[in-house]
Amino acid sequence: MARLYFRTTGFKELINRLDRMENAMEKKQELMKEVGEYCKTEIRALAPKDTGALQNAIDYKLVGDDAVEVGVMHSIKNNGRSTLIYGTYQEFGTHKMSSNSYMRVFWENRAEIQEMILDRILNLLAVA
């Protein structure tokens, strides 16, 4: 019976690199928290500043393993109105007032966030 024998080199290094990549990807949640904090800070800076209730209602939460939700998360009562409703009025306006958009302005500048995420991922992979 004929047999073939192969000698391979580099598998140990490959396995070590894969282990390091796995460790780097475990930092994904840390990265998502960093993105959430950054977005929250930027949106708060753009939000209208009357009493500060709308700004304080802006927060983030992790959704699943690879997503973060950012926006008006807390319904804070201020002068009898909810910040959830007030935030919508500010964003889109009403028949009595024009919009004072803060979420759309932030969304239009999302390239900065995408760049930050890409840089962080490349840094994590470079360590691997």
pLDDT computed for residue 50 by the predictor: 81
**Average pLDDT score, the chain:** 80
What percentage of the chain reaches a pLDDT higher than 70?
A: 81
13 Cβ partners below 8 Å, 6+ apart? none
- The whole-angstrom distance between residue 111's C-alpha and the CA centroid of its chain comes to 12
CB 69, CB 81: distance < 8 Å: no
- The pTM assigned to this predicted structure is 0.70
**What does the pLDDT look like over 54-112, one tens digit per residue?**
888 899 998 877 788 888 887 777 666 777 788 888 888 889 988 888 888 888 888 88
d(CA 69, CA 39): 9
Residue 15 clears pLDDT 80, i.e. is over it: no
CB 46, CB 106: distance < 8 Å: yes
Residue 32 clears pLDDT 70, i.e. is over it: yes
d(CA 57, CA 35): 18
Helices (H), the chain: 11-25, 28-46, 53-57, 83-92, 103-108, 111-127
pLDDT computed for residue 45 by the predictor: 92
pLDDT computed for residue 13 by the predictor: 79
